[in-house]
Amino acid sequence: MFQKPTYEELFEENQMLKAIIKSLSENQERQETRIAELEAILKQNSQTSSKPPSSDGYKKPKPTSSRKKSDKSKGAQKGHKGSSLHLPHEPDKIVEHLPKQCESCEHKDV
């Protein structure tokens, strides 16, 4: 059967868990510091450090647009007359387009 742990056993386990938490916490702090150092190294290029331009690699700089930003929204402006094909109010004639044969049984003269 299950025995309840003694006070001493619980105290030892608690101390062990506190030590593990402290160790993991210190490890996390070291890793965060290392990550920050590595990210700082990655951000460096010839413009932000004393590196020569040849160390920047083959990445082209982003092209800058010569166009000025407009105050107008994209697409059709409000209030413009749209162009679309309107249906006539009264058609001249109505033509029915029926299938030549039934799709399910393929019977002709539907």
Statement: residue 30 has pLDDT above 90: yes
pLDDT score of 4: 92
The mean predicted confidence, pLDDT, of the chain is 86
Q: What's the pTM value of the predicted model, to 2 decimals?
A: 0.42
**Using CA atoms, how far apart are residues 110 and 107, in angstroms rounded to an integer?**
7
Report percent pLDDT > 70 for the chain. 96
Beta bridge partners of 45: none
pLDDT score of 108: 66
Q: Residues with Cβ < 8 Å from 67, sequence gap 6 or more?
A: none
